[in-house]
Amino acid sequence: MRLTVHSDYGLRVLIFLAAKGGAAATIPEIAGAYDISRAHLMKVVNELGRLGYVATTRGRKGGIVLARAPAAIRIGEVVRQTEENLALVECFSKEKGAGCRIDGACRLKGALAQALGAFLDVLDGYTLEDIVKGRSAPLLRRLRIA
């Protein structure tokens, strides 16, 4: 399983904000910490806001903060909501014309569905708080958070 850049950046934003411990951050600050595109990050932050994970304030003293406590944000939930398509193979797709000649006679689809479920179940076992627990000094240093 490979996450899209969108989901990856979404998780990075949430980790950064949780590591800041409630202090507001800016898109340039987050982009600089991870050395990633500001333009792409703006789209990601907009989506995280729409999903209720972050709150944004515009203006000179504006910024981005978590909209929920880190303990209330499950990593599996974030992945489910930020991934466009969790269809591991073509036969998972509901799009017209998608499919496989042996669909219905093959057990691979069931095995892959079970594996995807297990992957998401493991991620559901972690909260954002678990990921940044203790806001360790190495994490803060690497993200350039004072």
pLDDT in tens, 107-128: 888 898 899 899 999 999 999 9
Instruction: List, in order of start, the domains of the chain with CATH numbers.
Output: 5-142 (1.10.10.10)
In angstroms and rounded to an integer, the radius of gyration of the C-alpha atoms of the chain is: 18
And the tokens for 98? 């998608």
Other CB atoms within 10 Å distance of the CB of residue 45: 22
> Residue for token digits 């990075």?
12
Nearest to 51 by CA among 34, 73, 33, 26: 73
pLDDT in tens, 50-93: 999 999 998 888 899 999 999 999 999 999 999 988 776 776 66
